[in-house]
Structure 1
Amino acid sequence: MQTFVQIFKQELVYWFRKPITYLYFVILVALAIQDIYTPTGKGGVSGEIYRNSPLVIYSLLNRYSLWLTFLVITITSNVVNRDYELRLTKFLYALPILKAPYMLGRFLGALCVLFFLSLAIGLGAIISNGYLFSEGLLTGSWHLETYIKGYAIMIFPNLFIFSCFSFALVTLTRNIIPAYIVSVISFLGFLLSSTYLNTNSVIPQLLDPFGTIYLHKTTYLWDSIEQNSSVIPISKLLITNRILWIVLGLGGLIIAITRFNLEYYNKQNSKKEKRSNPLLLFEAPSIIIGFNIKSHFRTSLKLGWFQFRAFIISKIGFVFILIGTAFLIVLTVSFLPKEQLPTTYNLITKTNQVFKFFMYMLLTFLIGEELWKRKRLNISDVFDSYPIPNWVFLNAVLVNVTLLCLLFTILFFLVGITIQSINGYYDYQIGLYTKLLSFTVFADYLLFAILCLFIQVIIRNKYVGIFAVIIYWVGMKLLKNSGFNFSLYHYKYFPNLHYSDINGFGHFWQGYFWFLMFWVTIAGMFLVLGSLFWNRGRKLSILKNNGKYSKIILAIISTLAFFIGGYVYLNIAIWEEFPSEEKSNIIKSNYEKRYKKYENITQPEITSIYLEADIFPEKQKIKAEGKYILKNKAVAAIDTLHVTLDSDVNLSQVRINKKILTPILVDKPCHRYMFAIKPALEPKDSICFQFQIEKQRKGFGTNHFDVVGNGTFIDRGSFMPSILGYSFLPELRDNKIRHEFGLSPKNGTYPTLDRTADLIPLSSSDIVFEAIISTSERQTALTKGQLINTWKKDNRNYFHYKTKKTTSKEYALFSGEYQVEKSIFKLDSTQTVNLEILYNGNHKANVDEMMRAVKETLAYCHKNFGNYHSESLKLVEVPGFRPGARSFPQTIALFEKPGFTYSNTRENKNLPFFIVAHETAHQWFGSQGLVRQPVKGANMVNETLAQYAALMVLKQKYGMEEVRKWLKFSMKSYAKGHVNNLKEVPLKQVENENYIYYDKGALAMFALQEYIGEEKVNKAVSECIQKNLGHYTNSMHLISSFKAEAPEAIKQKITELFEKVVVYDNSIKKAKAKFKNTNKYELTLDLDAHKYDRNKSGIELEFTEGITIEVETKGGVEMFKVLVSNGINSLVMPLKDEPLKIFLDPNFVFLDKNLDDNTLVVTVEGE
């Protein structure tokens, strides 16, 4: 015991005397403070969640328990190898000490040091939420229990478990690499754990050493109140998980102690020392051929090849390659969305988002080992005495890691091709593989490797160097989140290299290329500096004997970096303004302060639009001449014209009635121009407003998505002037930021819904539209209206469009090389519609399905909601830079990813169908038909109704099975969306919360048609359209129409669905069936039912309602409708066949908090 105590104390003294221990502690405190304090920190959650809420603290501790495993390796490997590296083993192990006290003293001493360092995380969290840092932050009361539980169930057990594994592996192998492998596997498991977050099986939760899956499964449906107040429950499953892994860790530790033999180890060391001959590590002819640069370079290549070959043929190298390959396969299969085709771009970008962390870890460990291997083998003095420049050794390591990066890049290619082939996708796009893997994957790995190499050379300590690299990973991300996000501050930052099949890389390649060139020069500087700082001999010798050309090369590379960096800076910060949140807030504040006074000013309305636009795809440029007919529909004269225009657009040659005007105010940052109208525009009079505009890509155009090389899509608001006194949309929304700028608090984005009964006339609702659009010789230009004529002039194509009927002012321009699918669809005996789908030639797979969706939706909406307003409808594919879809009168922009690249399998066939049905329904619910009033609840009018129409069309075409898939998806999305919002608004007041107007909206509308019938819902919507023609519609108009069609008993349910936030928590607790003599079965089940009002602090409501139960039997499906009330409801039901499974509320009529407990397998008992 005395020996144990002495060794234990000695270990503690050793570590607490080292400055690095306190440096680790300070760094961890700083990282925790930064993690909590930054706007996007908060432990991985968002919304109105307290920064010191229990869940935030648990998430923080869970996340850092992973990063601490790397520190575990650093400290435990030092404990094990320290005596060996200091060559003290012969003396120390010859002393009369027992191995158990010796090993346990060392191990527990290291473990206590790790426990001490882990306290830095909790201290950082406390400081960041304390008085000094908490001003203006959303913080709640301090919970000591949170920290105690977090350390007791996460930090301390995880440190113990991985310390046992690391200590055992290094002890038994005398090699740190196996510990690295365990750490890598653990890290990969942590990354892959998200694959199992939605499974109900307990096995993944038991096999997860970090407790991440348990934490998620326990808390993912917690609402904001629970997140801010509830502590993690200690369940039997969690205790079992902790005991399981602690026992495994103890087992590893016991094996290490029992198999460790002091006498045997000394004998083995003696044998190794006798056998070891540093000169035999390399073949003599490969070392020195001459003393010129050519021979030195050849030597570095051979040394690098030797190091690489030694690694890949070693057992450790083989294991790393095997793990990497397996991880690539698992990632590719797991992370590539099943609903999308396994295209080359999707496969590489999605897989590499996670796989790069494996490569970072491998390179971090390998470079640390390679640089310090000669020190560990005590042969560094021999190598340092060679007449070889420093750069030879450095370059050898660089060759080694370059070949390793190349090897895994090739593996990436082979795995990708294999996975695509297995999935029946044979459009490999080898050229795209080559470009992406070379310039985004391989280049990224190599640049990171050079940084690791530089850090190891500068720091001159393997373990501290590895820890410094890890700090770089975490710290740079946190700094970026805290606002330190300018591109050139972040080594290895690249702008998004957007790719689409229709546009390729387009102009985005230019910016990526120059960033790559800049980082290559910076990496070159790192390499030259590394050779200058390379340490040889026993003393640190900097900038001595490092070659007469090194400083010259450094000067040349630095000059290149300066000029390339300057060119990049000009492009991203001068020509194209770098997006800055602070600058954006200033502009928004100025806009509101300067122009809020014009909020209610009267402006003339547009009655006619004539446009001549020239699109230059190769220059990413558009020029246009426009003409508006403006009419004063007010009762007073108008003497000032307020024009709003995007700041990227140049406005010139402004005329009113052909007279050139000079603006009386120009405020481009606030998108504002003002012109005096002389003489004033009298009521009912009109003027002709003419102008010229030009918009062209600036700089690299990293945020320029509208006019592109192929697939231009630019909407009216992005390039055309609007006549508008004031808009509330650009206003600052965060009340904390508003207070900083001296603005009054704001309740949401939209104005309050306070005039529910008023019918407000539409602004510019009926206009005449005409446009002549030119584009490049190989492309087709489109907009709304009928194509009148087309011609060619000066190697350009011209297209003339004109609407036959008046339409809304919304429109977009398109230009690209398209394949066209045409069809003429007869709506009724009096109306036919010309349908066109314009798409990339390689995306034919889903076009027929899309055409069916258009026809089905047109027919359904035309029948139930009124006549279609035009003679044509065009669906145009555009590049998938911004996933989604947008509907305009007579035209629909379908981005590449939502529909055209979805897998056209039986399982997913409804995805493109539903998307197209939704966008087609917007022809009735959007800019035509029901036009939303810009107040709270606006998105219920257009988005929720479009969701409803798409569900009904899907039901009509494919039946309830497909509809249930969407409803289930919507229910889960709604439950997750609510989690991060402190107070959910009802549908009637929804603003930009898509989980409400999309997901809850679809569920509420489907439930409504279950209650009152599809026919009555459609009648209510149709009557609302007719009543509001020519006027804005708000959510209360729609709800009033629903209630008018509903019986009295259902009106309260409508109120709960649309005007309140009412949810249920229903579950099946028990289900047993018993066989009867009459060849029938009797089913007994217990249902637990609860109903809550979320806007009243989750208060439980009393209720008695009917709910549907579906029983799957061997003979088919049997349905029951039963009454349930609060609490446990015991039910007995007769069945015709043997039951297999029960589904509670199969049509998702009740807004249920948790669907996982709505299904249960029936236990069948015999007689």
Structure 2
Amino acid sequence: MFKAVFLFELRFWLRSRLLYSLLLTTTAIMFLSMATEIIRFRAADGGQIRNSPYTIQFCYQFITSFGFLIFASFPIAAASRDHTYQMSEIIFTTSVSRLSWLLGRFAAAGFTALIPLGGISIGIMSGSIMPWNDPSQFVAISWPAHLLGLTAIAVPNVLFIATIAFVISLRVPKDVFVYITLATLWFSIDLGSDLLRHRDHTFLAAMLDPFGSVAVSHQTRYWTAAEYRADYFTLTGYLLWNRLFWSLFSAVILTLGCRRFRFTLRSSRLSTTTVGSSPAYDLIPAARADTAVPVFPSRTRQFLKLTAFEFRSAVCGPLFIILSGFVLQTLAFPLFQHEPGYGQQSLPVTSAIVTVIGDRCRFPALTFIIVAAGMLVHRERDCRIHEIISTLPHPDWLFGCGRLLAMTLAVAAMLTTAAIMGVASQLVRGFTQLQPEVYIVSLLGVELLQCFVLAVLIFTIQIFTPGKVHGYLLAFSIQMISTYISERLANRSGVISILHQQYPIYSDFYGFAPYASGMIAFSTWSLLLCAVLCLLISLLWQRGNDTGLLARLREARHRLRGRTAVAAAVTCGTTLIYGVWLHTTVSNYWDPHNLPADTAANYETRFRTRFENSPQPRITDLRYEVDLYPQQRSVRIRSSQTLQNKDTAPQADILVNLPAGLQHSVRIEQANLLLDLPALRAQVWRIEPPLLPGDSIRMDCTSSYEAPALELQLEFRNLVQNGLTLTDFSPDIGYQPDRELQDGQERGKRGLPEPRPLPSLNPKSLTDRKNHRSSADSDLVTMETVVSTESDQVAIAPGRLLRSWKQQNRQYFHYRLDPPTLKAPMVLSARLKVARDVCDGITTEVWYHPEHEWNVPSMMHGLHSALRYGIQNFGPYQFDFARVVEFPRYYDWLAAVAFPGTMPYSESGGFITDIRSPGAFEKAFFIVAHEVAHQWWAYQVIGADMEGSKLLSETLAEYTAMMVMEREFGPEMVRRHLAVALQSYLAGRGRETRAEHPLSRVRPDQNYLSYYKGSLVMYHLRHLIGEEKINVALRRLLKKFAGKGPPYPVSTDLIDELKAETPAEYHAILDDLFNHIILFSNKITSCSIRQLAPGRQQITLQIECRKLESDEKGTEREVPFEQAIEIGAFTAAGDHRKYGEALYRKMHQLKSGTNTVVFETAEIPDNVAVDPFFMLIDRNIADNVITPSVDR
């Protein structure tokens, strides 16, 4: 009987158009991802090899994970078909057995759900052989990757999806609630897995994830780029256990579901009343011939009653309750849970709370809108009462507009509930600065408006479709297409720029002020478009039996008359006029001849050959007069630069590069303008007569910017009413390689060669050592800045404040920077408070927003500690001032930056970081110490413009910050930093798209090397030779290069100084640390304890050791080694510590292969570890630690 049912069902599904549509769609997506640029699956290797084995498996996992609702449609339909078509009475009276009937249907539906997945392999293999493909982006077909992707990923995933969907459908009569339950279950599992993973419960997180993504991530987390391009993940470790567990779980659930199902008629316990599913007959009064009722009041009452009824039905319906519960569930952890981590959790300020709420509510709100819109538009027809409702006396717009408003109010109720939860979390966590206006504007303003616009669009789509399922598919497709278009064409069309407003970034400095005009304009435009669509909804609303689109279009012509026609003309005309005005007024217009890629290519084409190797005058002195008008978001800058010929030959032609976005007027002494190209922001001047060696001339430049009255996309986010910041606002001299087009494919389209690499590390190349990394047009400069701003603000610039005064209701500040240092112009204007102190004769200041005083003591502590450490261990501090200045959160990725003596620190980078709990990582302290360290490692010693320059700046700044933190908080705090550094370095290797360099040759874009590997290397070296010897080497480096011009130092200068302080037996290790890519694999295979006597425990370890050397592409080979490695034994951990008290710590000589280590302790340890504090770079530190077993 099972075979008969299975074959019957399979034949049924093989006739389904949905099956072949999904197969064709999957094949097309995969084909396009291989053969075109329309779709790209960028795996961890950056997408360089399109059909890599990992990418193949990733595609199987991605499609089965995020397309689970599509694959669930087959078992859902199989389980509910009898109930839907009212065939249950007939089927239940036949002689077919229950298990045969259920299992046959399930097996056929599950097998059918697997068929579309064949399109993944078909599309990948067919797309990979297209003749226009770049052969360098493809490898040979990896059959094991296809086989494992199908069997290890797709089959268990589809089995789980089909089982859950089938069993739920057997119990729940409504398909929509099955889909909602599946979506909620999926997100709940994903949330729980994510929370466990962030709490370092990786195994539990991997087991909780039914799709295996966490297990795959764990297996590949430290893969190199070479492994991502050539290897595939295997069915081992966490992934094997995950697949076995969820396959067994699916079998158990299917067995229980089938056993509990009865071949009897079922009555639904779930109310069939959904979102407004009971028609409101009493809301439409019957017509009475003897009563004259004013039309407008009657229609208004109808509209309000219908809206109120639909709103009550929505918020009391299962759809809203399930999704709202999901929102509250997902908000519970991020809002209420506080864990002292690596400085990542912020204080519960309203801006942070609102951001979390917006992110967590967006998907549930979207789901509610899409599902509810289909149910509301097609409700009467689904209930087969459309003919009755159509005869009732109500206007055509009543049901559409009333239900649309009710649905929007329901979303507002969901957002309000989330906002109340946000306020509660603030109060529970002891935070009382609630800022209700931020909740209102962000959630009930910006978010709700977006939801309303989306609701109108979805309603309109449903109006045009014959059924809600078709509307769901069309809405999903349009959403995907619009996302794709907005990502790729957002800056290429004036229309697109009008349709896509920049999301406002709230700051306590300026609120929403910079975005206000754009928000109002965009909201008006959106509401007008919605009015037009609402008019269309009213005209096409289905009444009667004419459901065809053409019939309803003909009916719409009859409806469009009288007052309706006047309203339509006024609405459409107003929208058209406003749209034209907005398109011509908005500043974000599209210039098809001035795209960023074209500008970069044209710059390189016109000037590289002529000026790349042409000596240019060097800037030696800078004078600025800056007038800031924060309320108008405008600036005026007058700069004067002294240019000196430091070459041995006369110089005639000068290339001047102008800052973007400003209007400029340039004048150069004894020079004539030869070429002015505003589109390229470049001018060519000729000095007559040529500038002789040693001579100087002056260049004056007046620059200005006035923000337009209306901006939908802010051109300068940093020009704000409070917290205005300007950097890099003066012209640069000479050819600027950083302005070249970097994208290799875009260069190829324009006939340009491969991107020019940074000059290779070559200590003997004096040509490459004549420029430092910070700027190619200057060495050390003197700088003076006079800044004026509004009377209630303070202006800050690098340098000592000479004087300040008030004139014509404006504040003036005069700063001078000496001794000479790097060219780094910056001005900031804001309403700030200041905390002042003195440290070793240096005036220290922390300027901060008046409401952000929480972490100011920690920052002042970090400022003083870093200054004292630097002065004591490196040498004199250049200035007699050191200041930290808070600036708004324009960009969340920018935490802090160092200028000479002045260190701007982002509002979101540390001022609102929550460090109240004991054991919390002192992030504010650490970042301040890092930026103070740059006053030595950047502004006194700056690397030459070649590979390895960031070793002399970022790596040494990280080392300094670690030493300062260890001195103030102990080694445990630094070890937490090193744990994060190890994970970040190993993960960064897999994301490398070009080549991983040794630390001595680090590129400027390799932060995972300069910051994270640099931290590990310097701490390891400190562990070997001691902090004092490293600092002696650094003092010599400073003495040799500080305050001097070219030739600038390179990484080998530092390594040579360190080598001079390193004992000979560690020279090989020093070479490995800086000049090679070395990894270790140390594993304790066994640990036994034998009690020799009371208070004497003998511990025997078996340790497997391997040393791996990697090339720049990530290919590794094992090399023999013999090296001293630390062995430790510890008591149980506690108080946020990795280990407890150390019972034993000693270096042991270990070599490749199996090592036996025997030592004694006074008591039985809870943990024994090899390299316990990860001095060595080990990809699996979990097996470095073991809990010993006691021999009795």
Under a length normalisation based on structure 2, what TM-score does the superposition of the two structures give?
0.90
The secondary structure found in structure 2 opposite 1:1065 is strand
Cα distance in 2, alignment partners of residues 11 and 918 from structure 1: 67
- 1:771 and 2:785 equivalent? yes
Cα distance in 2, alignment partners of residues 495 and 1154 from structure 1: 43
The change in CA–CA distance for 1:410 and 1:584 in structure 2 (over 3 A counts) is: same
- 1:167 and 2:166 equivalent? yes
Deviation, structure 1 residue 230: 2.1
Tell me the residue number matched to 1:124: 123
Pairs within 5 Å for 1:397-408: 397-408=403-414
Tell me the residue number matched to 1:189: 188
Tell me the residue number matched to 1:147: 146
The change in CA–CA distance for 1:1052 and 1:531 in structure 2 (over 3 A counts) is: same
- 1:1149 and 2:1159 equivalent? no
Tell me the residue number matched to 1:1129: 1155
The secondary structure found in structure 2 opposite 1:688 is strand
Identify which range, 987-996 or 71-80, moves more after superposition: 71-80
Tell me the residue number matched to 1:206: 207
The secondary structure found in structure 2 opposite 1:746 is coil
Tell me the residue number matched to 1:864: 873
Q: 2:815 aligns with which of 791, 797, 801?
A: 801
> Deviation string for 1:436-481 (max 9, x for gaps)?
1112332233333333322222222222322333334444444555
Cα distance in 1, alignment partners of residues 1054 and 264 from structure 2: 87
1:636, 1:682 within 8 Å by CA — same for their partners in 2? yes
The secondary structure found in structure 1 opposite 2:457 is helix
Report the residue type matching 2:526 in the other structure.
Answer: W
Cα distance in 2, alignment partners of residues 1103 and 26 from structure 1: 55
Q: 1:495 aligns with which of 502, 523, 531?
A: 502
1:35, 1:478 within 8 Å by CA — same for their partners in 2? no
Cα distance in 2, alignment partners of residues 971 and 352 from structure 1: 33
1:975, 1:1154 within 8 Å by CA — same for their partners in 2? no
Q: 2:438 aligns with which of 432, 438, 444?
A: 432
Report the residue type matching 1:218 in the other structure.
Answer: Q
The secondary structure found in structure 2 opposite 1:889 is coil
Cα distance in 2, alignment partners of residues 323 and 1105 from structure 1: 54
Tell me the residue number matched to 1:707: 719
1:288, 1:296 within 8 Å by CA — same for their partners in 2? no
2:1105, 2:1155 within 8 Å by CA — same for their partners in 1? yes
Pairs within 5 Å for 1:588-667: 588-596=600-608, 597-652=610-665, 654-656=667-669, 663-667=673-677
Tell me the residue number matched to 1:900: 911
Q: 1:1012 aligns with which of 1018, 1025, 1045?
A: 1025
Cα distance in 2, alignment partners of residues 693 and 317 from structure 1: 55
> Deviation string for 1:331-377 (max 9, x for gaps)?
54579975321221122213432431222223323333343443343
The secondary structure found in structure 1 opposite 2:1054 is helix
Q: 2:965 aligns with which of 954, 962, 965?
A: 954
Cα distance in 2, alignment partners of residues 871 and 793 from structure 1: 28
Pairs within 5 Å for 1:66-465: 66-89=65-88, 97-131=96-130, 134-135=133-134, 138-189=137-188, 191-192=190-191, 193-197=193-197, 199-235=200-236, 237-262=238-263, 264-265=265-266, 282=280, 284=282, 292=295, 294-314=297-317, 317-332=320-335, 338-465=344-471
Tell me the residue number matched to 2:897: 886
Pairs within 5 Å for 1:476-875: 476-480=482-486, 488-489=495-496, 493-539=500-546, 540=548, 541-546=551-556, 547-548=559-560, 552-570=566-584, 575-576=587-588, 583-596=595-608, 597-652=610-665, 654-656=667-669, 663-698=673-708, 700=711, 702-715=714-727, 717=728, 719-722=729-732, 724-746=733-755, 748-750=757-759, 753=762, 755=764, 760=770, 764-826=778-840, 832-875=841-884
Tell me the residue number matched to 2:290: none
The secondary structure found in structure 2 opposite 1:221 is coil
1:129, 1:139 within 8 Å by CA — same for their partners in 2? yes
The secondary structure found in structure 1 opposite 2:690 is strand
Report the residue type matching 2:411 in the other structure.
Answer: C
Identify which range, 612-621 or 680-689, moves more after superposition: 680-689
Report the residue type matching 2:751 in the other structure.
Answer: G
2:594, 2:679 within 8 Å by CA — same for their partners in 1? no
Tell me the residue number matched to 1:26: 24
Tell me the residue number matched to 1:829: none
2:1081, 2:1105 within 8 Å by CA — same for their partners in 1? yes
Percent identity between matched residues is 23
> Deviation string for 1:714-770 (max 9, x for gaps)?
12x2x2112x22121122233343333222223534565463678648764343322
Cα distance in 1, alignment partners of residues 880 and 260 from structure 2: 85
Cα distance in 2, alignment partners of residues 786 and 921 from structure 1: 19
Deviation, structure 1 residue 550: 5.2
Identify which range, 114-123 or 604-613, moves more after superposition: 114-123
Deviation, structure 1 residue 432: 0.9
The secondary structure found in structure 1 opposite 2:905 is strand
The change in CA–CA distance for 1:880 and 1:1146 in structure 2 (over 3 A counts) is: farther
2:629, 2:635 within 8 Å by CA — same for their partners in 1? yes
The secondary structure found in structure 2 opposite 1:1156 is helix
Deviation, structure 1 residue 914: 0.9
Report the residue type matching 2:619 in the other structure.
Answer: I
Identify which range, 971-980 or 5-14, moves more after superposition: 5-14
The change in CA–CA distance for 1:599 and 1:237 in structure 2 (over 3 A counts) is: closer
RMSD: 3.3
The change in CA–CA distance for 1:250 and 1:292 in structure 2 (over 3 A counts) is: farther
Deviation, structure 1 residue 944: 0.9
Q: 1:989 aligns with which of 976, 997, 1001?
A: 1001
2:490, 2:500 within 8 Å by CA — same for their partners in 1? no
Tell me the residue number matched to 1:1106: 1124
Identify which range, 1110-1119 or 667-676, moves more after superposition: 1110-1119
> Deviation string for 1:618-645 (max 9, x for gaps)?
1221112222222222222222232111
The secondary structure found in structure 2 opposite 1:680 is strand
Deviation, structure 1 residue 709: 1.0
Identify which range, 804-813 or 884-893, moves more after superposition: 804-813
2:490, 2:497 within 8 Å by CA — same for their partners in 1? no
The secondary structure found in structure 2 opposite 1:51 is coil
2:602, 2:680 within 8 Å by CA — same for their partners in 1? yes
1:729, 1:749 within 8 Å by CA — same for their partners in 2? no
Identify which range, 504-513 or 481-490, moves more after superposition: 481-490
Tell me the residue number matched to 1:1165: 1190
Cα distance in 2, alignment partners of residues 602 and 238 from structure 1: 60
> Deviation string for 1:959-1018 (max 9, x for gaps)?
211111111111111011011225311112111110000111111112222222212211
Cα distance in 2, alignment partners of residues 571 and 945 from structure 1: 50
Cα distance in 1, alignment partners of residues 754 and 483 from structure 2: 32
1:38, 1:482 within 8 Å by CA — same for their partners in 2? no
Deviation, structure 1 residue 654: 1.7
Identify which range, 409-418 or 601-610, moves more after superposition: 601-610
The secondary structure found in structure 2 opposite 1:624 is strand
The change in CA–CA distance for 1:195 and 1:130 in structure 2 (over 3 A counts) is: farther
Gaps of 5+ in 2: 288-292, 1133-1139
Tell me the residue number matched to 2:50: 51
Cα distance in 1, alignment partners of residues 648 and 17 from structure 2: 80
The secondary structure found in structure 2 opposite 1:664 is strand
Identify which range, 378-387 or 16-25, moves more after superposition: 16-25
2:1079, 2:1177 within 8 Å by CA — same for their partners in 1? yes
Under a length normalisation based on structure 1, what TM-score does the superposition of the two structures give?
0.92
Cα distance in 2, alignment partners of residues 501 and 384 from structure 1: 53
Deviation, structure 1 residue 679: 2.7
1:444, 1:492 within 8 Å by CA — same for their partners in 2? no
Identify which range, 48-57 or 593-602, moves more after superposition: 48-57
Deviation, structure 1 residue 646: 1.5
Report the residue type matching 2:1123 in the other structure.
Answer: E
Q: 1:1042 aligns with which of 1058, 1065, 1080?
A: 1058
